[in-house]
Amino acid sequence: MKDFKGRTALITGAAHGFGKEFVKQAAQRGMKIAAVDIMEDALKEIEPLAMELGAESVLLFPCDVTEYEQVKCVVSKVVEEFGSIDLLMNNAGVATFGAVWAVPPIEYEWILDTNIKSHVYFMHEVIPVMMKQGTHCNIVNTCSAAGTFTSKSAAAYQASKFGALALAESVHYDLIDAGADIHMSVYCPGFIQTHLDHSEEYKQEKYQIDDPYYGSKYHQAMQGAAAYFIKTGRPIDESGPIVFQAIEDDQFYIITHEHYDPYIKARCENMLARKNPELVPIDHNIRQ
């Protein structure tokens, strides 16, 4: 997509982190913005910010992206109000960390529903709209470097991100096969100063249970590690320009932390050599 002005961007997870940065970029390009988030109070702050930066118009949609009926309603209202959807940014995401035998299974439901199924729901509803428009459109799914290689204590998160990446690749092939003028992209960053370490603040009631795990020292340690890695990550303000440049270039893989490249390569080489996985000592503090 080269011409953004007056076109419509639907951005999930828009109230914080990457989503908020994407809103800023869309606004600066004069787009109409449909901002989606489960955090209604924080979402209200997006409209004045976007309008001040140059957005043509802004609609706010409090929405639980794990609920298909709510997603259908949002997409329908966006089309009704704006007449089109030209850019879909599936950005809503959550994280949880720990060993599979320690983490309650409902945590997997929460993270897989949010990080994969929400992508399915929005693409299922939005792609037919884009096809009908007949104009060049883009979809960007926020994945993660965690979807390109594996590490310890991250089974739930990495399963969700590997799934999200595989989903996007497969959809990419199907769009080409269908002759659709819709380009897929996946944003796969490493640690960046987002709001991801605060995921539990917006965990829906349906995923909350009374379990000793949540008061354990192990859980606290996992939460502390996540907070450290996020807080010592790269500045978030570099994210928006990188992603929107990739949209302009119709670039599929948006992989920003180049120092992870050897880990991705090693994983692929081990698979092709039929070797067992090898845990790599990842330096999370590398910035460049």
On average, the pLDDT of the chain sits at 95
Q: Which among 189, 151, 156 has a CA at the least distance from the CA of 267?
A: 151
Question: What is the mean pLDDT of the segment spanning 40-60?
Answer: 97
User: What residues contact 170, with CB distance under 8 A and at least 6 apart?
Assistant: none
Output the pTM of the full model.
Answer: 0.95
What whole-number distance in Å separates Cα of residue 114 and Cα of residue 22?
19
What confidence tens digit (pLDDT) does each residue in 186-225 have? 999 999 999 898 898 889 999 999 999 999 999 999 999 9
Instruction: Kindly tell me the burial class for residue 16, based on how many C-beta atoms sit within 10 Å of its own C-beta (0-12, 13-18, 19 or more).
Output: buried
Asked whether residue 284 carries a pLDDT value surpassing 70, the answer given is no
What confidence tens digit (pLDDT) does each residue in 77-102 have? 999 999 999 999 999 999 999 999 99
Residues annotated as catalytic (active site), given as ranges:
157
Other Cβ atoms less than 10 A from the Cβ of 287: the count is: 11
Specify the length of the chain in residues. Answer: 288
**Of 172 and 198, which is predicted with more confidence?**
172
Q: What angle do CA 116, 58, 54 make, to 5 degrees?
A: 115
Question: What is the mean pLDDT of the segment spanning 56-84?
Answer: 98
What whole-number distance in Å separates Cα of residue 229 and Cα of residue 238?
17
In this structure, is the dihedral angle defined by the CA atoms of residues 49, 54, 57 and 63, taken in order, positive or negative?
Answer: negative
What whole-number distance in Å separates Cα of residue 185 and Cα of residue 187?
7
User: What's the confidence (pLDDT) of residue 286?
Assistant: 36
Taken in order of first residue, the domains within the chain and their CATH numbers are 8-272 (3.40.50.720)
